[in-house]
Amino acid sequence: MRRVSQFAFAVAAGSLVAVSSAQGQQDQSKSVAGGGISVPGWMGQVDAADAKGGKSANDSKFTKEGNNLHITTGPATTYWNPANKASGNYTVKATFTEPKFQNLNTHPHPYGIVIAGNDLGGDQATYLYCAVNGNGSFIVRGMGPAAFQMNGGRGEANAAVHKAAAVGETVTNEVALSVKGDKVECAMNGTVVASYAKADLVVAGKLKSADGLYGLRSAHNTEVTVAGLTITKP
């Protein structure tokens, strides 16, 4: 299995993978046996909080199974392929299946689509992501290069998001991120659940551009399969 060298993002400490005292040791990022990236062309980066603790993308696992990608984290990890570039108006989408809801954690953790990636792999990386939780909620966040949030620290619930019936059950959601003229939209299962003015995202402290690389992101201690990662243009 190919291993990749890592560079830490300059993310504010305690941002996206902070561990609360209530969650304690159980919610700290684990290491996945046989970790690393085995899909040709793909790269990965963990958040600064995990990097400071000695974790890297080799503590998560990114593989291909048939036509699908299989991600098991470890530390929260952002994945991209330098060949996957998007510009102008576009939509990036994929279908995410959590085979056993919360099988690696004690509460819902999100996974989803990354767009507008620039300078990935360095300490000035910027990108935006929309990610879904198996409990019916979603979050929109990014790096600019410090972490920023677009819909609050806990995200928000929406009826368009599919919920797992119970812990250990399977849940599937389609996630899409689109750049459409002067707007950036996130959709869940074909329904737009969040829309932002591009001018509010492409600013100092957020995105360098709405153009850039696209990819995937999974929060820590999460297992998910990804089908049909595609980009379309109008």
Q: Does residue 113 have a pLDDT over 80?
A: yes
Strand (E) or helix (H) holding 149? strand 147-149
Q: Is residue 13 part of a domain?
A: no
* Total domain count, the chain: 1
Strand (E) or helix (H) holding 183? strand 183-188
Kindly state the percentage of the chain with pLDDT values over 70.
Answer: 89
Residue 110 sits in a domain whose CATH number is 2.60.120.560
Q: Does residue 71 have a pLDDT over 50?
A: yes
Q: Does residue 160 have a pLDDT over 70?
A: yes
- Through-space distance between the first and last CA atoms of the chain, rounded to whole angstroms: 38
Q: Is residue 2 part of a domain?
A: no
Query: Average pLDDT over the chain, rounded to whole?
Result: 89
Q: Does residue 176 have a pLDDT over 60?
A: yes
The pLDDT-based confidence of 32 (bands split at 50, 70, 90) is very high
Q: Is residue 5 part of a domain?
A: no
More confident residue, 166 or 107: 166
Torsion of CA 103, 78, 26, 32, to 10 degrees: 70
**CA–CA dist 130, 126 (Å, integer):** 14
Q: Which domain holds residue 196?
A: 24-232
Q: Is the pTM of the predicted complex or chain greater than 0.75?
A: yes
